[in-house]
Chains A and B, each alone.
Chain A
Amino acid sequence: MRTVTRNILINVSLAALLMQCVEPFEIEIPGGSDFIVVDGLITDQPGPYVVNISVSSPLGFNDAVPVNDASVSVEEEGGITETFTLESPGQYVSSSLQGVAGRRYRLLISTRDGSRYQSDWVTLKPSPPIDSVYWEFDQRRSMEGQVEGVQFFVDTHDPENNTKFYRYRWTETWTYFAPFATTLDYLGDLKTAIRDYNRTCWIDEASRVINLASSQGNVKDVISNQSLNFVSTETNRLNIRYSILVEQLVMNEDEYNYWKGLKETNAETGELFDKQPQSLISNVVNIDNPDETVLGYFSVSGVSTQRVFIQRGDLPEGTTVKSLYAKCELIELEFSDPFSLAEREVLRNIKWGVWMFVNFSGPAFLVTTPECADCTIRGGYTTRPDFWVD
């Protein structure tokens, strides 16, 4: 039901009908823009768990201002209270805490100026297993026109009809090859060294969108055909082998509504008949000053996961997938033997990072650009992930 309603509201993009215009708007905010932001998640998966404390910034300044001198702890009802330790700026990490389904937890914070914050008690709801994560090869319209790609879906259900509120996040991992990988590192001045052979890389990307599902209002606690990620063939992700790990986090209605509000206020406004933006209500309050605006949420979720792989060959025949290396070329440099003085001068001054030598045995030298010779330059890593199955 909620899904249906949302679709309706999103689709009233009547703005489309109009001679309309959307342009950036400059604002000046009377009063401050600094509010405490609490971001914590406890799950039934093994820790450590992280709680981030920061202060919000004016619009346009995207860097969080971390709070490093707070005391952060999580209390298990009728159990221990574990104090988190500051690991990096604003980031507080647990040591031995392990979330257990059915138990209740709350977050306690005190800052240097003596403000004390506390969350509601939140019950850790167990997550039912994901029934399946599957995909379809599909087309969709985008600003660039028609694009092809893979649309992922998830199905799940709770036979107990208890879960109702779901959030999905995922991590994509894909592999790619640098076409002219080399073990040769040219140091300049005709000296070479052996370098790592960085041909195969893996790269991860975590989801950024808020993906919610609810079976509230349905007869059964069933989530069916829930759309997840769309992977376009305009990226290189599907070029060789691709994997997605889908995490299903379950929560109570209050947290669901928080996420829903977050999603609505942040992504879906702007059309003519959208809902009024809402001031979101955190489950964390200042004990001494309940009127203080607190941003963020302390989440406690049961989690279940499922991983899916896609091989290039799984795509329909004839599908073209964009490659990042389409422009890579191998260039042959011919020198006289022995080198002339001028040629020697050229070779001495060639620097790694501009040209990469694939073959340095002369008299013809093969060179290419570094990114075509080393996959890590594109941001990937070369250690094969544990979960990776070829």
Chain B
Amino acid sequence: MRYILLFFALYLLPWLKLSAQISPLPITGKYNDMPLIEVFSQLEENYPIRFFYDPAWVDSISVSLEAEGLNLEEFLDKLIDGTDLEYHLEKSGRIIFTKGHKIVKLPENFFKEEIPEEPKRITYSIFDKKEDPELLRSVPDVESREFTIGDQPNASGEATISGYIRMSSTGEPLIGASVFITSPFVGATTNAFGYYMLTLPQGNYRLHFKSVGMVETTRKINLRGDGQFDLKMDEDIIPLDEIVVQGELNIINSIQTGRITLDQVTIKTMPTILGEIDIMKISLTLPGVQTVGEGASGFNVRGGATDQNLILLDDVVVYNPSHLFGFFSAFNPDAIKGAGLYKSSIQADYGGRISSVLDIAIREGSKKKLNVSGGISPVSAKVTIDGPLKKDTTSFLLGIRSTYSDWLLEELNDDPELKNSSAFFGDVIGKIHHQANNNNSFTLSGYHSQDRFVLNDDTVYRYSNTNVMCKWRKTINHRLFSTVSLGFTEYNYKISNETSPANAFELNYGIQNSTFKGSFDWLPNANHGIKFGLNTTLYRLNPGSIKPIGGESIVDPRILNEEKGLETALYLGDEYKYNDRLSIYAGLRFSHFGLLGPGRQFKYLPGFSRETQFITDTVSFGKGSLIKAYSGPEYRFSSRYKLRNQSSIKFSYDRTQQFIHQLTNTTAVSPTDTWRLSNAFVKPQIGDQYSVGWYRTFPAYGINISVEGYYKKVRNLLEYKSGADLLVNEVLETDVINARGKSYGMEVFFRKKSGKLNGWISYTYSRALVKALGPFKVEQINQGEFFPANFDKPHNLAVVTNYKFNRRINMSTNIVYTSGRPVTFPIATYQFRGNTYSHFPERNQLRIPDYFRLDYSVNIEGNHKIKKPFHGSWSFSIYNLTGRNNAYSIFARTEDGKVQVFQLSVFAEPIPTLTYNFRF
């Protein structure tokens, strides 16, 4: 740490005007084991001096002291002898005590502030002179001081300023922080190392620094030549425990379309479901992000299937991002720093899924002090601890969350059938960050989640995620940065049923992957940001096994051979700033996928649909041999053109490829869904997306507006034959259909970020269509015409508002309206073999009713006094306030010989929840 930084807090009491100058005055007194506070007050009574201190520092100190004609400084030296207090003596007679650090010189205007009527907390940063002579000022003063950058003017008349922006408390780099001047509006954002680079004509500027959750600040600079300017930003003081969506800070400036960042910031807004703050649920209120319904795991981005989202937790893939079949996000919100969602403009360093990237980062622990936070809701309890392992160098974070009762099952349902059901979930998340020196940092993070359900004392479901990642970041020089990481992911599930000894079985599925990533950020100059690197992933799958349990079981053991695949990608991308208005990103990712032996591949009779009776031959492959390979380039392009200061237009085109596919025959993601690798019959999915957008900010009102449109085509989408059996299926190719997808839409996002009333309105019109036109009738759905995908919901509206009554109380509402999703339900009844049945029309030609929901919540913060070590907050929320019975699905059942159509609703009543959160 180059600066020693001190948070210095004083409670300034109603104030006596002290104007008399004091000459060194002899102090005489005798104090025998007297509390320091009393000593102070006696002195204040007897001499024209005044003490400033934090009572917490001194209330345990007593002094025994005899003074005869000491001057003030000698006296004070004696007074603090043996304590860790330091003092600063002002000419005016003010004596300011600090703890641990000495104030070398106070800012000149330190006491010139208007003194408020009420006790008020003031925070100043005071820098030690020895550490940084340039910044020996209070914050406001630093802002008015001019810094000279560079001394060798360039011939071009331009100069480049660059540097690191870090968080003052932890020293961790601030990613995506903005550095900009306002007129004209020119700016840059920091990269993954917190490094920024900005080229401006030589001259005088006021440089603004902004980052989510940080106190915004500015610096006056006199830019004479190329030079470095580093900055540490202070965290905003109000609580940081809630995750809230933050629209892209500089939507005008960034080059990407379809990008949303979710950050840990300072307000509690979104009403929660059963008291849990949930990144995934929040993202569903953003344009272009949808779900098939409550109780559905996963999300759909711009008409993409749920398996087309690359969900990364600290750079490692998470296969099942939810607990309890999708009702809760699998990520403990207290341990999450933030997330970025990329709906388009997916840059070349990301790959492997065709729809979107949700990149979630685990928070780094504080390198200064130990923090504990936690909460309890009717469903779960959680606690997160973080702090230094070695001060200023190494930090840790550990978060644990678990259900502690079957509250849900017991309270929400009286069905006697459920008395023997239980549901459990829990997760552990951890991170160690070590800043070896300014140029090298190491991260080790890990995640484990478990779910277990017993439904009706019958079938037991278990699933778990395990992730481990280690990363080394190195600054090679100020132009070149490298990141090397190794990651490991495992996802397993197990389903067992031992009710009937003859049919007792256990079904297992598992996927593992090991990933190596090496990437370089190269900034040859301020106009180019080049990224290149290599990613490889080795997949190992147990595609499924069914085993009998016990000697009586006649279940045929059925074990699919392990599948192995290697995905490798090389990429190179350059973000090029042509001029202040136009920036272009061009990237190329070249992906290669190989399915590796040992394995078998069936051959089918040509001219027939792939069915088991047409298998003519089986080809076996030895260990390590290449069964099938695919490779291809993925082009990534985006550009941004600034129209005026406050608006810009952007265009992007992306091609993405996907070699691993989730098999789901059900409407929503279910725990029995499995991932399989591409093989000779299941080809890689390839997506092409074109996206355009217009962006506008009104900084004076804190308002951002964006309008984006997209068109996307997907090849080799997986659809399923009617009644396809996807579990433990060795001849999967006989049940899948090669389909094509097409989606398009328009997204409007209006966001007001500041003010008492803030929030956003997001509206999306979109369509997602599928076409399955195989050569054989069984490979056709709806006669090979385009039909709506399961998640095709044309209209989506979300209105999220948050009203802050004061710093402690806020109220928020969340309104969601969407079109009903397509379903297939019966349209006719008929008699067959003495029974009445219903006839279902072609797939997805009908829709469930439109969806509407209103949520409401109130959050009450505890006292904000900093000396209070313990902070608690209450959150009361009502989910689905109007109690509307939103249809999850429409289905028919033959009951008493009559076909009836029913609507199934989830959370059909208002659900109130009270949650308590704390930290200290």
Binding site for B on A (CB under 8 A): 1-5, 7-9, 11-27, 29, 31, 33-35, 37, 39, 41, 52, 54-62, 64, 141, 145, 206, 208, 217-219, 222, 224-225, 257, 260-262, 264-267, 269-270, 272-281, 291, 293, 295-297
In the complex, which residues of chain A have a beta carbon less than 8 angstroms from the beta carbon of B453? 17
Q: Which label, helix, strand, loop or mixed, suits the secondary structure of the B interface?
A: mixed
Interface size of B by CB at 8 A reads: 92
User: Quick check: is B445 within 8 A (CB to CB) of the other chain?
Assistant: no
Listed A/B pairs (22) with beta-carbon separation below 8 Å: A8-B459, A8-B727, A9-B672, A14-B295, A14-B455, A17-B455, A18-B327, A18-B412, A20-B907, A20-B908, A23-B902, A59-B899, A59-B900, A60-B899, A208-B897, A224-B554, A262-B832, A270-B893, A272-B295, A275-B665, A277-B825, A279-B722
Chain B residue at minimal CB-CB distance from A27: B901
Chain A's nearest CB lies how many Å from the CB of B816?
Answer: 18
Chain A's nearest CB lies how many Å from the CB of B227?
Answer: 60
In the complex, which residues of chain B have a beta carbon less than 8 angstroms from the beta carbon of A24? 900-903
- Give residues of chain B (811-854) contacting chain A, Cβ–Cβ below 8 Å: 824-843, 846
A7→B500 CA distance, assembly (Å): 11
Chain A's nearest CB lies how many Å from the CB of B886?
Answer: 10
On whether A269 and B836 interact (CB within 8 A), knowing A11-B455, A19-B413, A276-B665, the answer reads: no
A55→B832 CA distance, assembly (Å): 11
Chain B residue at minimal CB-CB distance from A265: B840
A7→B899 CA distance, assembly (Å): 23
On whether A278 and B459 interact (CB within 8 A), knowing A218-B556, A266-B892, A267-B893, the answer reads: no
Most chain B Cβ neighbours within 10 Å, of A21, A52, A145, A274: A21
Q: Assess the B834–A206 pair: CB atoms within 8 A.
A: yes
A41→B834 CA distance, assembly (Å): 12
Most chain B Cβ neighbours within 10 Å, of A12, A26, A33, A225: A12
In the complex, which residues of chain B have a beta carbon less than 8 angstroms from the beta carbon of A21? 885, 904-905, 908-909
A28→B804 CA distance, assembly (Å): 46
Q: Assess the A225–B502 pair: CB atoms within 8 A.
A: yes
Q: Assess the A16–B415 pair: CB atoms within 8 A.
A: yes
In the complex, which residues of chain B have a beta carbon less than 8 angstroms from the beta carbon of A276? 665-667, 790, 824, 843
- Partner of B671 from A7, A12, A224, A267 at Cβ < 8 Å: A12
Residue-wise interface mask of B (549-562) relative to A, using a CB-CB cutoff of 8 A (1 in contact, 0 not):
00000111010000
User: Quick check: is B625 within 8 A (CB to CB) of the other chain?
Assistant: no
A280→B843 CA distance, assembly (Å): 11
In the complex, which residues of chain A have a beta carbon less than 8 angstroms from the beta carbon of B22? none
Chain A residue at minimal CB-CB distance from B728: A1
Q: Assess the A8–B908 pair: CB atoms within 8 A.
A: no
For the A-B complex with A22-B904, A225-B503, A267-B894 known, give 20 more contacts whose Cβ atoms are closer than 8 Å.
A2-B725, A4-B555, A11-B456, A16-B456, A20-B905, A22-B905, A56-B830, A58-B828, A59-B901, A60-B900, A64-B831, A141-B416, A141-B417, A208-B835, A269-B889, A275-B666, A279-B841, A280-B840, A291-B783, A295-B839
Residue-wise interface mask of B (410-421) relative to A, using a CB-CB cutoff of 8 A (1 in contact, 0 not):
001101111001
On whether A12 and B417 interact (CB within 8 A), knowing A5-B725, A52-B831, the answer reads: no
Count A/B pairs, Cβ under 8 Å.
264
Chain B's nearest CB lies how many Å from the CB of A114?
Answer: 22
Q: Assess the A39–B905 pair: CB atoms within 8 A.
A: no
Q: Assess the B723–A1 pair: CB atoms within 8 A.
A: no
Q: Assess the B828–A34 pair: CB atoms within 8 A.
A: yes
On whether A54 and B831 interact (CB within 8 A), knowing A13-B455, A225-B500, A264-B723, the answer reads: yes
- Partner of A29 from B546, B672, B827, B911 at Cβ < 8 Å: B827
Q: Assess the B459–A11 pair: CB atoms within 8 A.
A: yes
Q: Which label, helix, strand, loop or mixed, suits the secondary structure of the A interface?
A: mixed
- Give residues of chain B (703-729) contacting chain A, Cβ–Cβ below 8 Å: 722-723, 725, 727-728
Chain B residue at minimal CB-CB distance from A278: B722
A12→B846 CA distance, assembly (Å): 25
In the complex, which residues of chain A have a beta carbon less than 8 angstroms from the beta carbon of B555? 4
User: Quick check: is B507 within 8 A (CB to CB) of the other chain?
Assistant: yes
Most chain B Cβ neighbours within 10 Å, of A19, A206, A261: A19
Q: Assess the A19–B503 pair: CB atoms within 8 A.
A: no
Residue-wise interface mask of B (720-748) relative to A, using a CB-CB cutoff of 8 A (1 in contact, 0 not):
00110101100000000000000000000
User: Quick check: is B670 within 8 A (CB to CB) of the other chain?
Assistant: yes
In the complex, which residues of chain A have a beta carbon less than 8 angstroms from the beta carbon of B891? 269-270, 274, 277
Q: Assess the A7–B836 pair: CB atoms within 8 A.
A: no
On whether A37 and B832 interact (CB within 8 A), knowing A208-B897, A275-B665, A276-B824, the answer reads: yes
In the complex, which residues of chain A have a beta carbon less than 8 angstroms from the beta carbon of B417? 16, 141
Chain B residue at minimal CB-CB distance from A208: B835
Chain B's nearest CB lies how many Å from the CB of A248?
Answer: 16
On whether A25 and B902 interact (CB within 8 A), knowing A1-B728, A265-B838, the answer reads: yes
In the complex, which residues of chain A have a beta carbon less than 8 angstroms from the beta carbon of B888? 20, 272
On whether A56 and B829 interact (CB within 8 A), knowing A8-B495, A19-B909, the answer reads: yes
Q: Assess the B908–A295 pair: CB atoms within 8 A.
A: no
A337→B849 CA distance, assembly (Å): 75
A31→B898 CA distance, assembly (Å): 22
In the complex, which residues of chain B have a beta carbon less than 8 angstroms from the beta carbon of A20? 888, 904-908
On whether A11 and B831 interact (CB within 8 A), knowing A21-B904, A269-B891, the answer reads: no
- Partner of A19 from B497, B505, B667, B911 at Cβ < 8 Å: B911
A3→B458 CA distance, assembly (Å): 15
A21→B881 CA distance, assembly (Å): 16
Chain B residue at minimal CB-CB distance from A262: B837
- Partner of B828 from A1, A3, A33, A257 at Cβ < 8 Å: A33
In the complex, which residues of chain A have a beta carbon less than 8 angstroms from the beta carbon of B672? 8-9, 12, 273
Chain A's nearest CB lies how many Å from the CB of B292?
Answer: 10
Chain A's nearest CB lies how many Å from the CB of B717?
Answer: 15
- Partner of B825 from A22, A27, A217, A297 at Cβ < 8 Å: A27
Residue-wise interface mask of B (453-464) relative to A, using a CB-CB cutoff of 8 A (1 in contact, 0 not):
101101101000
Q: Assess the A208–B325 pair: CB atoms within 8 A.
A: no
A174→B439 CA distance, assembly (Å): 88
A12→B423 CA distance, assembly (Å): 13
User: Quick check: is B25 within 8 A (CB to CB) of the other chain?
Assistant: no
Chain B's nearest CB lies how many Å from the CB of A325?
Answer: 25
Chain B's nearest CB lies how many Å from the CB of A289?
Answer: 13
A54→B723 CA distance, assembly (Å): 26
A238→B261 CA distance, assembly (Å): 68
Chain A residue at minimal CB-CB distance from B415: A16
In the complex, which residues of chain B have a beta carbon less than 8 angstroms from the beta carbon of A15? 904, 906
A217→B888 CA distance, assembly (Å): 34
In the complex, which residues of chain B have a beta carbon less than 8 angstroms from the beta carbon of A39? 831-833
Q: Assess the A18–B840 pair: CB atoms within 8 A.
A: no
Most chain A Cβ neighbours within 10 Å, of B456, B458, B670: B670
Q: Assess the A273–B828 pair: CB atoms within 8 A.
A: no
Q: Assess the B903–A25 pair: CB atoms within 8 A.
A: yes
User: Quick check: is B324 within 8 A (CB to CB) of the other chain?
Assistant: yes
| Shortest Cβ-Cβ A-B pairs, 5 listed | A273-B670, A278-B722, A21-B908, A56-B830, A33-B828
Q: Assess the B722–A281 pair: CB atoms within 8 A.
A: yes
A273→B670 CA distance, assembly (Å): 6
Chain B's nearest CB lies how many Å from the CB of A7?
Answer: 6
A339→B629 CA distance, assembly (Å): 105
In the complex, which residues of chain A have a beta carbon less than 8 angstroms from the beta carbon of B295? 14, 18, 272
Q: Assess the A11–B903 pair: CB atoms within 8 A.
A: no
In the complex, which residues of chain A have a beta carbon less than 8 angstroms from the beta carbon of B554? 218, 222, 224-225
Chain B residue at minimal CB-CB distance from A19: B412
A270→B892 CA distance, assembly (Å): 7
In the complex, which residues of chain B have a beta carbon less than 8 angstroms from the beta carbon of A219? 556
In the complex, which residues of chain B have a beta carbon less than 8 angstroms from the beta carbon of A3? 503
A56→B412 CA distance, assembly (Å): 40
A126→B471 CA distance, assembly (Å): 66
In the complex, which residues of chain A have a beta carbon less than 8 angstroms from the beta carbon of B413? 16-19
- Partner of B903 from A22, A54, A206, A217 at Cβ < 8 Å: A22
Residue-wise interface mask of B (527-560) relative to A, using a CB-CB cutoff of 8 A (1 in contact, 0 not):
0000000000000000000100000001110100
In the complex, which residues of chain A have a beta carbon less than 8 angstroms from the beta carbon of B421? 16-17
In the complex, which residues of chain A have a beta carbon less than 8 angstroms from the beta carbon of B832? 37, 39, 262, 295-297
Chain A residue at minimal CB-CB distance from B781: A279
